[in-house]
Amino acid sequence: MKTLALLILVLAATPTSAWAKIKVVTTLENFADIARNVGGDEVNVVALSKPNQDPHFVDAKPDLMLQLNRADLLIRAGLGLEDGWLPPLLLGARNGKIQSGQPGNLDASTLMALKEIPKAGELDRSRGDVHPGGNPHFMLDPNNGLK
């Protein structure tokens, strides 16, 4: 009887996924806004960059690593936009769910029809901000939010 009571007590004290909010971390505020509107009360959303920040240059601070450590889902632009600061944060977060290639790591660029993909020989920094996989600034078009 004591074993059954202890089991019930442990089960009652253990949070279940039905009660816990999904923790979503995004690299851009645009993605955070979409996640909040889609997820409603079921999600807790944090953006790693501020709307007035250049997404190429975000300071990789320890508090951002902590947000990633607690995340169930990471939504990122991809195409190299966050390459200067996101990889060390992901490494330090030690969260297997959101590492590259895992189901909890959503590269939004994989959902888009990409534009401005440089041809061979066009990858040269003298041409400015060149992204080898295509233009990662696809969220400038609000219709892409539907994707």
Which pLDDT value is given to residue 12?
Answer: 52
Distance CA 130, CA 115 (A): 12
Question: Using one digit for the tens of pLDDT, what is the confidence trace for 67-124?
Answer: 999 999 999 988 888 989 999 999 999 999 999 999 999 998 888 766 665 666 655 5
Which pLDDT value is given to residue 6?
Answer: 44
pLDDT at residue 138 above 70?
A: no
pLDDT at residue 25 above 90?
A: yes
| CB atoms inside a 10 Å sphere around CB 85 | 19
pLDDT at residue 7 above 50?
A: no
SS3 105: strand
**In contact, 28 and 78? CB cutoff 8 Å:** no
The mean pLDDT value for 1-21 works out to 54
Question: Using one digit for the tens of pLDDT, what is the confidence trace for 37-82?
Answer: 999 999 999 999 999 998 889 999 999 999 999 999 999 988 888 9
Torsion angles phi and psi, residue 24, rounded to 5: -110, 130
Lay out the sheet containing 73-76: strands in order across.
43-47, 22-26, 73-76, 105-107
pLDDT at residue 16 above 90?
A: no
User: Structure pTM?
Assistant: 0.76
Of the CA atoms within 13 Å of residue 18, those in its CB half-sphere come to: 1
Tokens of 58: 């975000």
Average pLDDT of the chain to the nearest whole number: 81
